Amino acid sequence: MKYKLIAIDVDGTLNKDDHTTSIENINAIKKAIENNIKVILCSGRSPASLHYFEEIIGLNIPNSYGIGFNGACVYDAYIKQNIFGEFIEKSVAKKIIKKIKNLDTNIKLAFYSENDILIAEKGLEKILTTYTEGSDINIQFSDEITEDSIKSDILNIYFIQERTYLEPIFETFKNDEILGYTVSFTQENLIEFMPLKINKANGLLKLCNHLNITMNEVVTVGDNYNDIEMVKEAGLGIAVSNAVKELKDIADYVTKRNNNKSAIEEVVDLVIQRNNEYN
């Protein structure tokens, strides 16, 4: 079976550690498209953030798509319009924030509101400015985020702090009695709360149904815990060499290159080679 789509995680996979994309990866993606393989970005980032990279890479073209917020949002990358979307209910978000503040007031918090505005606590200016550079994301900083800050259903919640602080927080929420959310480490120092039963594989399946292709015809590439489901479910699941061990253990293929050495170029060459062998 030929592969028809490559879904690529952004941070730690497509991008280098400085959040830039190598010319080798950009050219490889263009090569994939020339070989009739769709390429999409599948990330924990917001669509507004992903549009910036899509323009750089050349994915802002007709019949191009993307997946943001770890599968909660599937969108048309050309007209910049959502196709599918999920939210965390207001009451659930309030409970999560109240509990985290009771557990540790040092944790820095941010969340995306229903209208795609990023609300963040002061102290996160540097990291979020770097993370959102070049995008059209509207960031509003607040002295403190509390349960009263939640005015409607929201897209997600981020907790940002050193890993040693976050580990016990993650264990607490992983088995908590609060219902209505999914929680995952999406970066080394970041825990993300997402809508219930949402992950990248679920978002990708919705897109596949929309495009009338199967998951067996999909290649997925990632580096972190929030990529595990989509790497498991794909016809060819790939972990970059800098990926966490848990992802490498379940991947069909682990690249020789890391994200700083244009691993996506290696992936595209592999996929085109396998498609040619199928002929």
Taking the alpha carbons of 178, 181, 182, 186 in that order, is the dihedral positive or negative? negative
Are 200 and 67 spatial neighbours (Cβ–Cβ below 8 Å)?
A: yes
For residue 190, what pLDDT band results from cuts at 50, 70 and 90?
confident
Closest CA to 113 of 90, 82, 144: 90
Among left, alpha and beta (phi > 0; psi -120 to 50; other), residue 33 is alpha
Q: What is the pLDDT of residue 204?
A: 97
Q: What is the pLDDT of residue 107?
A: 83
How do residues 89-115 score in pLDDT, each as one tens digit?
Answer: 999 999 999 998 888 888 889 999 877
Task: Return mean pLDDT, the chain.
Answer: 92
Q: What is the pLDDT of residue 3?
A: 98
Mean pLDDT of 145-153: 93
Among left, alpha and beta (phi > 0; psi -120 to 50; other), residue 166 is alpha
Mean pLDDT of 250-256: 98
- How is the beta sheet containing 154-160 ordered, strand by strand? 138-142, 117-121, 108-113, 154-160, 190-195, 181-187
Helix crossing, 163-174 with 90-103: angle to 10°?
130
Q: What is the pLDDT of residue 197?
A: 85
Q: Which residue has the tokens 């993300």?
A: 192
Of 188 and 94, more confident = 94
Q: Of 6-15, 71-80, 123-132, which range is least confident?
A: 123-132
pLDDT beyond 80 at 137: no
Mean pLDDT of 23-46: 96
98-111 burial, b for 16+ CB within 10 Å, e for fewer?
A: eebeeeeeebbbbb
Q: What is the pLDDT of residue 199?
A: 93
Mean pLDDT of 195-207: 94
Q: Which residue has the tokens 């690529």?
A: 8
| Alpha-carbon separation of residue 231 from 62, 158, 176, 253, 271 (angstroms) | 26, 23, 27, 10, 15
Strands 253-254 and 236-239: parallel
230-259 burial, b for 16+ CB within 10 Å, e for fewer?
A: bbebbbbbbbbbbbbeebbeebebebebbb
Q: What is the pLDDT of residue 279?
A: 66
Mean pLDDT of 68-83: 94
Are 259 and 229 spatial neighbours (Cβ–Cβ below 8 Å)?
A: no
